[in-house]
C-alpha cells in the first residue's frame, strides 16, 4: 500500500485479514485527500477482495460524498472487478478498465 497526494494504492489482499490495518492507513491519509479535494483509490494490484474490503471501499466512497470530495477508483484488478460486478456495483469501476467487461 502506498500513498501520494491524491492516490491511495492498495496492493495484495483487500480482505478481513488486513481491514483494520487498511482502515487505519486510509484514515491517516484522508486529510491529504481532503486538502486535494479528491479521493482516488488505485486497486489495480489487489490480489483478493472480500466483503470486508468491499465494506471499506463503500465506506470511503460515502465519506468522500459526505465531504463533497471527488471519489474515483482509478484502477481495478480482476479480483476487484469480479466482486463489484457480483454486487452490481460496476459504476465504481474505472471507465477504461478492461476488467470491467469481463
Per-residue pLDDT, averaged over 77-95, amounts to 92
Domain locations in the chain?
A: 2-101
CATH 3.30.750.24 for domain 2-101, yes or no, is: yes
Residue 4: predicted pLDDT: 53
| pLDDT 10s digits, 5-64 | 568 999 999 999 999 999 999 999 999 999 999 999 999 999 999 999 999 999 999 999
Q: Is the pLDDT of residue 101 over 50?
A: no
Instruction: Encode 26-65: b = buried (16+ Cβ within 10 Å), e = exposed.
Output: beebbebbeeeebbbbbbbbbeebeebbbebbeebbebbe
Which band of pLDDT confidence, cut at 50, 70 and 90, is reported for residue 102?
very low
Amino acid at each position: 500500500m502506498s500513498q501520494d497526494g491524491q492516490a491511495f494504492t492498495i496492493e495484495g489482499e483487500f480482505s478481513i485479514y488486513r481491514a483494520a490495518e487498511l482502515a487505519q492507513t486510509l484514515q491517516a491519509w484522508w486529510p491529504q485527500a481532503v486538502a486535494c479535494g479528491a479521493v482516488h483509490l488505485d486497486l489495480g494490484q489487489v490480489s483478493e477482495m472480500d466483503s470486508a474490503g468491499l465494506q471499506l471501499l463503500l465506506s470511503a466512497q460515502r465519506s468522500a460524498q459526505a465531504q463533497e470530495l471527488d471519489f474515483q477508483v482509478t484502477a481495478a484488478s480482476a479480483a476487484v472487478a469480479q466482486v463489484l460486478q457480483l454486487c452490481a456495483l460496476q459504476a465504481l469501476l474505472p471507465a477504461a478498465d478492461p476488467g470491467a467487461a469481463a
